[in-house]
Structure 1
Amino acid sequence: MKEYKPRIVDRILKRKLKGIGAVLIQGPKWCGKTTTAEQIAGSVLYMADPKNEAQNMTLAELDPQRLLEGKTPRLIDEWQLAPKLWDAVRYEVDHRDELGQFILTGSAVPPSSDHIRHTGTGRFIWLTMRPMSLYESQESTGDVSLTELFNSPEKITGTNTLDLDKL
C-alpha cells in the first residue's frame, strides 16, 4: 500500500469536523478526497463498492439510517449515488446533536436532487479539494512562500532543481 502524503487540507478537515456535524468534500476525480478522509474516518461506507453496491442502493432507498451506523466520523464515499443519504445524514446530525459525525465525498453532483429536501444549512460545511500541490507531493521545498510572493515580490528567490521533463 502507498504511504499517505500529508495534505494541507488535513488540518482544515479536522478543524471543520470540530465545528459542525458533517463535512462534504468536493473536488475533481483523483484529487485525494477519499484517501484524505480515510485518514481521519472512524468507519467507511464505499457506496460504489461493486461487491455491495446493489445492497447499498437498496438500503439507501428502504432504510438509509442503517448505512449511517458505524464509528464516527463515518465516511460515506460517493454519497451522490444515493441522494436520499443527504437528508438521512442531516436528520442524524440533528438528532445525535454531536459534532464531527460524517464526512461525505464525491466528485459528482447527484443525478437528481428530487430526493433532497433540505439544503444542509447548519449541518454541513463544504470543503473543496484540489490536486496535490508540488509542495504536498514533495517536488517543491516550499522555499518560496505564496504570501511573500504577494507581499514582497522583490525579495523572492528560489532555485528549481527539476528539469523540464520532470515538471
Structure 2
Amino acid sequence: MPAPAPDTPAPPGHRLVHPQAANDLLMYRLNRLIAVAGSLVVRLCEGGYGITRREWGLLMVLAQQPGLPPAALAERLGLDRARTSRAITSLQNKGLVTRSTMPGDRRQAVLSLTLGGLSLYDSLFPQIKALNQELLSELPPEMVKALDHALAAMQQRAEMLVATRTDLPRTYRLRGGRH
C-alpha cells in the first residue's frame, strides 16, 4: 500500500501499519503507555504499601490462583525464575506469602497468600482497578470492546510468533547479553 499523498490525511491506523519512526511502532507506543500509566501503579504500590510492581503482580495471580508452584507463577507473569524467586522471598519476608511443600514431593513447593497478603490485595486491587477505569474513561464503550478484542488477538499472535520464530537469536540476559 503506497503512502498517502502529503495533502491527504492518512487513514486511521496507517502509522501503525506503515511505521516511519519510533513513535509509530506499536510496541514502542504500548511501552510508553505502560511507563506513564504504570508509574501510577508503582507509586501506589511502593509509596502506599511498600511492595514493588513485580510483587504486586505475584500477589494478584496468587489471589486468583492460590497454590501455584513458583515456576508456574513465573510463567503466568512472563518473568524469569530468578526474579520471581527474589520477589517470592521478599513477599515471604513481609509476611504476605507462604511457601508449603507438596505432599509426597518435598522438592515441590506451592505458594499462597497469608491473611496479610489477602488483606493487602483486597485493599490495593480496587485502587488499581479505578486507575484502569480512569485510563479507559476517554474511550466510548464500543472502542473499549474493540480494544479488548484487539489485545486478545495480538496476545495470541505474539505467543504464536514466540513459538515459531526460531530464526531470531536467543537472549542470555543473565550472562550480560549475546552469547
TM category (shorter chain) comes to under 0.3
Structure 1 or 2: more strand by fraction: 1
The normalised TM-score by structure 1 is 0.25
Larger radius of gyration: 2
TM-score normalised to structure 2 length: 0.24
